[in-house]
Amino acid sequence: MRLPFLSSVTSWLAPDSLGYGGRGAGIKTQIGMRVLQGLVLGLLLLPSTMAAAKPIKLLALGDSLVAGYGLREPEGFVPNLEAALREKGFDVTVINGGVSGDTSKGGLSRLDWSLADDPDAAILELGANDGLRGIDPASTKQNLSQIIERFQAEGIEVLLAGMMAPPNFGPEYTSEFNGLYPALAEAYGIALYPFFLDGVAAEPSLNQGDGIHPNEKGVDIIVERITPYVTDLLESVQ
């Protein structure tokens, strides 16, 4: 890269550029060197600053937990996550791809529509309703596999948000369901946030009256805990 202004600074450093030498020239040279060092340092830092400012579109594909069920729009997961990421210096737009009541099959069926905004990265948060309905974990795993494969085919980096099944379907179902998320993350080489409702599930003060959907305080905890994982995700697309 050609930087003509550096030649001008170098010329200014010459002792006789203003027709004097000696002590005055030495002082002038010292000042000029400091200016030059500052310019070079600024140029070295410029690429990383520009990278951090790259606009990113992040799709949050999920169910009511993403959609913000029972909350005012500013209280939901998506706007609060976007605000947290912007505070960390990311020029990011988080796309709300949440549909209340959606299952993994529903998320798969609307995938073309969800990708219409051409996201750079995605959080995949689906399966909670599969678990509540006792859907075969093998079916949930297959649906999520197809979503992940589509993301990867489109060059979209993925963070898989895990879910846990309610205990009322028995230990065998619970074990199979809970294990499908780590298995998918390993099989496809993607990042895993182990449990989307970590720190919030079964805490009455952090959930709405139904005991399932987080309230505003619960959303704050979810965002706080998942943000480091999302930060890593965004850095991978810079």
Q: Give 155-220 as a DSSP string.
A: T-EEEEEP----GGG-HHHHHHHHHHHHHHHHHHT-EEES-TTTTTTT-GGGB-TTSSSB-HHHHH
User: Which residue in the block uniquely carries the two structure tokens 């980096």?
Assistant: 157
Number of domains in the chain: 2
Residue 2 has pLDDT above 60, yes or no: no
155, 174: one domain = yes
**Model pTM?**
0.79
59, 103: one domain = yes
Q: What domain range is 130 assigned to?
A: 53-235
pLDDT tens for each residue of 68-87 = 999 999 999 999 999 999 99
25, 92: one domain = no
100, 201: one domain = yes
Q: Which of 41-50, 159-168, 206-215 has the lowest mean pLDDT?
A: 41-50
Tokens standing for 130? Answer: 């599969």
Catalytic residue among 8, 112, 205, 210: 210
Report which of residues 8 and 181 the model is more confident about.
Answer: 181
106, 202: one domain = yes
194, 81: one domain = yes
99, 192: one domain = yes
* Known catalytic residue at 213: yes
At 9, the pLDDT band (50, 70, 90 cuts) reads: very low
Catalytic residue among 64, 102, 120, 130: 64
* Known catalytic residue at 63: no
How many whole angstroms separate alpha carbon 17 and alpha carbon 13?
Answer: 7
122, 200: one domain = yes
103, 115: one domain = yes
Nearest to 67 by CA among 92, 93, 91, 101: 101
* Known catalytic residue at 210: yes
Q: Name 124's bridge partners.
A: 61, 160
